[in-house]
Amino acid sequence: MPHVVFVAPRFLETTNKFVAGFAALDNVTLSVISADPESAIPKALKPRIAAHYRVNDYENANELLAATRALQGHVGKVDRLAGHIEQLQVPMAEVRDALHIEGLRTEAARAFRDKDRMKEVLRAYGVPVAKSALADSPASLRAFIDAVGFPIILKPQAGLGARSTYRITSEEDLRALEEQGVIPSKRVPLQAEEFVRAREHTCETVTVRGEAVWHSGTRYFPTPLEVLETPWVQYCVLLPREDEGTEWNDFQPVNRSALKALFGKDAESAAGTALTHMEWFLRDDGTSLVSEVGVRPPGVGIMPLMSLAYETDFWADWSRLMALDEFTPKERRWASGAAFFRGQGAGNRIVSVRGVQRAVADAGDALVEMRSPKEGMPRNEGYEGEGWAHVRHPTTEGVKQALLALIKNVQVRYG
C-alpha cells in the first residue's frame, strides 16, 4: 500500500478538503506534515492519518526533509510527497530528489516557479510568450523599457497570482514605484514584461505521467491585475457550459507544448502527473500567449467551480491523481461562476453591507452557496475580498446573469 505524505500548511477549511481526499483512499497510507499541532486535525480525519509531524516553517526544504525522513522511519518508505500551494513546489521537489521519491523534480519545479526561467524554457520550445526580462538593477529595467516601451508589467521573480504586480504606464508611474521602495536589485530582481492587450483566460489540465487527459478553463472578469489596481471593483470568475468548439479547445496545442516544455525530460514518469493552472491571453486576432503556469491546483474559487460544473469532488479527484496516478475524466454538465465581494471607501474594517437579500432573490436557483461580508470584518488586502458566492446554471448566460445580480446588489463599505 503506497505511503503518501501530504504537506498541510495549516488545518484550514480548504486544506482539510485535500486531507479528506487522501484520507478517503482505502488503498493508501497517509501521513501529514503541518505547522499546526496534531490536535488541530479534524476529529473525523484523525483515524485515517497514520502519522503527523509538526514543522516550524513548511516552506523550508530542510525542515520538510527532516520531517519526511522521520515519517519514513516511523511509518515506512514514502512513495509520494504532495502539497497544494505554489510556495511548496520547489522545497518538496528538493526533498523528493534527496530521498528518491517519485514526483516532480527540482529542475522542473523551478521552471514552473521562477517566472523568468519559465519564459526562457517556453521560448526555447517555441511557445508564444510576452517579451520579458529579469531586471536586477534600475539600468537593466531602463534598457527593457527603452526596448519595448510603456506600458510594462513588473512583478516578483517567483510570483503568486497577481500579488505585488504593477502596471507601469509612464515615467511618473516608475518614479512613484521607486518612491515606494520597489526597485530591482541583484538581491531582489523583478520580472519585467510587455503589457499584453488581450482577454485573460485560465486553462486547468490534468496530466498523467506527461499525457494530458483532461482540460477545463475559466475567464476572469475583470483581470486580476485590474482588480488589484481598482480596489472597489467586484470580481468574478466564469466557467462556461460550452466545451467543444471553444477558445480553450483551440488553445490546446499551445497548452500541451507549454506543459511538455516545463515538465522536461522526466515528464513520462510520476513527475508528469499533475493538475496545472495556466493563465493565458487571447488577442483579438485569434493568437494566444502563455502568461504563467502553476503546477498545483488553481485558486480564486476555480476548484469549487470545476466541482460544480462537472458534478464531482475535485479535491478528492486531485488527491487520487497525486497518490495513485489515477483520474477519471467527467462530463461538463453545467456552467458555474464565482463572485467575490469587495468594499468601497477608506478604512480597515467593514462598516456596512447592503443588498444581500436582494442579491439572493435575483440570483434565484442558480445560487449554490454564499458567504456574505459581515460588519466588523477586517479588510482583506487580497483580491478575493471579504465574501463570495458560487453559482451554477445549465447555460453560460444563466451564470452571467446570476453573477451580475450578485455584484450589482451587494454593496460593501469600509470605514
Tens digit of pLDDT at every position of the chain (415 positions): 999 999 999 999 999 999 999 999 999 999 999 999 999 999 999 999 999 999 999 999 999 999 999 999 999 999 999 999 999 999 999 999 999 999 999 999 999 999 889 999 999 999 999 888 889 998 898 898 999 898 998 888 765 555 678 888 888 888 888 888 888 899 989 988 888 888 899 999 999 999 999 999 999 987 666 655 566 678 899 999 997 778 999 999 999 999 999 999 999 999 999 999 999 999 989 999 999 999 999 998 999 999 999 999 999 999 999 999 999 999 999 999 999 998 988 899 999 999 999 999 999 999 999 999 999 999 987 777 899 999 999 999 999 999 999 999 999 999 9
Residues 275 and 343 placed together within one structural domain of the fold: no
At 129 the pLDDT is 95
At 384 the pLDDT is 79
Task: Print the domain residue range for 32.
Answer: 3-102
Task: Give which of 8, 87, 15, 12 is closest to 52, Cα–Cα.
Answer: 8
At 181 the pLDDT is 86
Report yes or no on 269 lying in a domain: yes
The C-alpha angle with vertex 200 and arms to 196 and 206, in degrees rounded to 5, equals 125
Report yes or no on 375 lying in a domain: yes
At 162 the pLDDT is 53
Residues 293 and 375 placed together within one structural domain of the fold: no
Residues 316 and 209 placed together within one structural domain of the fold: yes
pTM above 0.85, yes or no: yes
Q: Are 368 and 392 in contact (CB under 8 A)?
A: yes
Q: Are 288 and 254 in contact (CB under 8 A)?
A: yes
At 55 the pLDDT is 98
Report yes or no on 234 lying in a domain: no
How many domains does the structure of the chain reveal?
Answer: 4
Half-sphere exposure of 189 (CA within 13 A, CB side): 16
Residues 399 and 351 placed together within one structural domain of the fold: yes
Report yes or no on 112 lying in a domain: no
Residues 55 and 170 placed together within one structural domain of the fold: no
At 226 the pLDDT is 64
Measured between alpha carbons, how far is residue 223 from residues 177, 330, 384 in Å?
21, 28, 12
CATH number at residue 166: 3.30.1490.20
CATH number at residue 345: 3.30.470.20
At 159 the pLDDT is 57
At residue 38, what are phi and psi to the nearest 5 degrees?
-60, -30
Measured between alpha carbons, how far is residue 377 from residues 338, 355, 358, 372 in Å?
20, 17, 21, 11
C-alpha to C-alpha distance for 341 and 371, rounded to whole angstroms: 9
Half-sphere exposure of 308 (CA within 13 A, CB side): 25
In DSSP terms, which residues pair with 378 in a beta bridge? 349
**Helix, coil or strand: residue 185:** coil
235: enclosing H helix or E strand: strand 235-239
Residues 210 and 300 placed together within one structural domain of the fold: yes
Name the domain boundary from 304, 324, 344. Answer: 324
Measured between alpha carbons, how far is residue 19 from residues 9, 25, 298, 375, 381 in Å?
11, 10, 16, 32, 27
At 158 the pLDDT is 66
Measured between alpha carbons, how far is residue 36 from residues 32, 52, 340 in Å?
10, 10, 28
Report yes or no on 117 lying in a domain: no
Residues 206 and 294 placed together within one structural domain of the fold: yes
